[in-house]
Amino acid sequence: MVVGVVAGQAAYAEPPPTRHFVVLHYQGQEVPFRPEFDSAIQEALRRASGGPVNVYFESLDAFNFPAASQSGLVAEYLQAKYAGRRVDALIAISDGAVSFARQHRDIFANAPIVAVAQTTPLDAGDDLTGLRWHSSNGDMLRLVLRLLPDTERIYLVDGALQPHEDLEAAFGDDVAALGRHLDVEYLLDLPIRDLVERLKRIPSRSVVCFRNQTMRDRSTTIDLRDGLAEVLRVSPVPVFSFTGQLIGMGMVGVYQWQVETDSDLIAAMASSIANGVSARDIPTREMTIRSALDWRQLQRWHVPQGRIPPESLVLFYQPSFFELYRRYVIAGLLVFAVQTCLIAGLLVQRSRRRGAEQILVGKEAHLRTSYERIRDLAGRLITAQEAERSRIARELHDDACQEVAGVAVDISNLLHRGVSREPAVQQALSSVHTRVTGLAESLRLLSHDLHPSVLQHIGLVAALEAHCAEAERHYDVQIRLVTDGEVEPTEPAVALALFRITQEALGNAARHGQARHATVALARSDDDLTLSVADDGVGFDIAGARQNGGLGLVSMEERARLVKGDVTIRSQLQQGTTIDVRVPINGADDPHVIFH
């Protein structure tokens, strides 16, 4: 097979010559690293040469056709193929390819060799340089013991049709160098059926180290991947491999050739040789090998993460839920923490609020009780006041007024009898009679103000008419009384309350409001009586009057409350005052309301 890669010609008068490289593999395309390496070395040669490049890939395919290689058929084929062709450098991969290239240098125009070899000496003075294949047996064993320190047995699998080097001696030396006893069993050159039966019986605390299994039986081969798949299928213990490109099939770990890195080294050596540098002058290098681990198998065999070497490449890593969604988890936790704090704060606030509400409820109940007691006391005081007024009014009317009236009659009799003819005496008696008569009238009016007995005899409307007439004379105010319909209350307490409110309202309008006109309106609406007293006085500030302890407003409101009514007061400065009272006709069921 030939693959040619030709770089575009540079825009020079004399373009650089085309370089010719041959890459010789010992194995065929079944080797796992071939696709990656062939692509990488092709690109590396193109970059390193800086001009047109032809790259030819050849394979001895010794695993599949060992007899053909031994008989020289491959050599004859390549001799004919490269006859007369120029080869600037030959890149030989593995010891078998290096041995073939050195034996048949004439096939490739005696080109210098850049080798990747394990056992072939690269400093033998031949026209040869390259990378030394690092033996990874010791590194692999140390990796096994680090990951699985309880390991007691190693099973080495290597099965192929062609003979190989003394593997047991080399592997045994690497085991001995560990300084720890390990039992090693070599499963070498076994047909796949026999190998499977042996692997099934492997005890615990063992490890399988897989190098190769291309033998199906004593005469036919099997693909390396198929051989490894059978080993992985039946092995009851962890499997490690020396073929890095097979990682991911089920092996715990491998030592993997870093193809990308070493392709650049090989290409640099081959390009230097093509440019005239002797291969002897190019120092050899060691291959870049790195351990690679399958995270899934580490989890399967319960290998703690702390045992993983820091320099190892961990493949197929399956991050945890937290690692995948770290930002969201942290943000969610922060939101949850904030919400928790807010909820806790709200709960604390709720608890405090409930405590405060309970305290407020207790205080409110206490205040309500106190308020009810005060209202009850106010009602009792008003009732007691009315009772005392009634008593004083009766005493004034029955005693003082009668006595004063009798004195006035006696004086009048003296005047008519002419007890004394002297003018001075007559004038004095007349003056005393006038004064006594006026005193009797004052006592009568005072008795009437203290308790209007007319309410009991002629009703509320007549009592209001009489009081309005007296207020007009006393205060020099024009008062108009308006009634609408049947407005006479059936309860004496209701009549008394409306009368006292009217009395208080007219007195305030005349004395404090400086009113000149007033209107008293009494009307009925269904089962309610409405009283309205309006004046054209100077008005007043209701809130200020309450703050200053005005008893008149409180007295009117309490009187209305005692008969289940309410009072509305409207007043503006220089615009007069209106007092509206609404009471039920049969509203006096309070036992403290007494009408005498």
Q: What is the pLDDT of residues 555-576, one digit of tens each?
A: 888 888 888 889 998 988 888 8
State the pLDDT confidence band at 415, using cuts at 50, 70 and 90.
Answer: low
pLDDT given at position 68? 62
Antiparallel, parallel or unpaired: β 566-571 and 577-584: antiparallel
* Cα–Cα distance for residue pair 584/227, rounded to 1 Å: 110
Nearest to 22 by CA among 52, 47, 58, 53: 58
pLDDT given at position 6? 42
Lowest mean pLDDT among 128-142, 243-257, 310-324, 436-450: 436-450
State the pLDDT confidence band at 593, using cuts at 50, 70 and 90.
Answer: very low
pLDDT given at position 55? 94
pLDDT given at position 321? 78
Q: Does residue 107 have a pLDDT over 50? A: yes
Q: Does residue 281 have a pLDDT over 60? A: yes
551 compared with 155, residue with greater pLDDT: 155
Lowest mean pLDDT among 378-387, 471-480, 576-585: 378-387
Q: Which residues pair with 255 in a beta bridge?
A: 291
Helices (H), 177-256: 192-200, 224-234
449 compared with 573, residue with greater pLDDT: 573
499 compared with 235, residue with greater pLDDT: 235
- Mean pLDDT over 242-268 rounds to 86
532 compared with 401, residue with greater pLDDT: 532
% of the chain exceeding 70 in pLDDT: 82
* Cα–Cα distance for residue pair 513/573, rounded to 1 Å: 10
pLDDT given at position 199? 95
Q: What angle do CA 123, 124, 130 make, to 5 degrees?
A: 40
- Mean pLDDT over 274-296 rounds to 89
Q: What is the pLDDT of residues 341-363, one digit of tens each?
A: 999 999 998 888 888 888 888 88
Question: Which sign, positive or negative, has the C-alpha torsion 131, 136, 142, 144?
Answer: positive
Highest mean pLDDT among 98-102, 194-198, 223-227: 194-198
Kindly report the length of the chain. Answer: 596
* Cα–Cα distance for residue pair 135/171, rounded to 1 Å: 10
Q: Does residue 389 have a pLDDT over 80? A: no
Q: Does residue 12 have a pLDDT over 60? A: no
CA distances from 134 to 28, 116, 529 (A): 22, 10, 119
Q: Does residue 234 have a pLDDT over 70? A: yes
- Mean pLDDT over 393-406 rounds to 65
Count helices and strands in the chain by DSSP H and E runs: 19, 18
Under 8 Å between Cβ of 509 and 537? yes
Q: Does residue 232 have a pLDDT over 90? A: yes
* Cα–Cα distance for residue pair 462/471, rounded to 1 Å: 14
pLDDT given at position 377? 67
pLDDT given at position 421? 63
pLDDT given at position 5? 43
State the pLDDT confidence band at 591, using cuts at 50, 70 and 90.
Answer: very low
pLDDT given at position 396? 63
State the pLDDT confidence band at 325, using cuts at 50, 70 and 90.
Answer: confident
Q: Which amino acid does the sequence have at 572? A: Q
The helix or strand, by DSSP H or E, that contains position 290, with its residue range, turns out to be strand 289-294
Lowest mean pLDDT among 33-42, 428-437, 441-450, 459-468: 441-450
Q: Does residue 468 have a pLDDT over 60? A: yes
pLDDT given at position 419? 59
- For the residues of 14-25, what is the DSSP string, one character each? SPPPPEEEEEEE
Q: What is the pLDDT of residues 13-29, one digit of tens each?
A: 567 889 999 999 988 77
C-alpha Rg value of the chain to the nearest Å: 64
Under 8 Å between Cβ of 266 and 91? yes
The mean pLDDT value of the chain amounts to 82
Q: Does residue 432 have a pLDDT over 50? A: yes
* Cα–Cα distance for residue pair 468/456, rounded to 1 Å: 18
Phi, psi of 539 (to 5 degrees): 75, 180
Q: What is the pLDDT of residues 87-96, one digit of tens each?
A: 999 999 988 8
Q: What is the pLDDT of residues 41-90, one digit of tens each?
A: 999 999 998 889 999 999 987 766 766 656 578 888 999 999 989 999 99
% of the chain exceeding 90 in pLDDT: 28
Nearest to 94 by CA among 26, 22, 21, 165: 26
Q: What is the pLDDT of residues 490-531, one digit of tens each?
A: 688 888 888 888 888 888 888 888 889 999 998 888 778 888
- Mean pLDDT over 199-224 rounds to 91
Q: Under DSSP, is residue 420 helix (H, G, I), strand (E, B) or coil?
A: coil
427 compared with 447, residue with greater pLDDT: 427
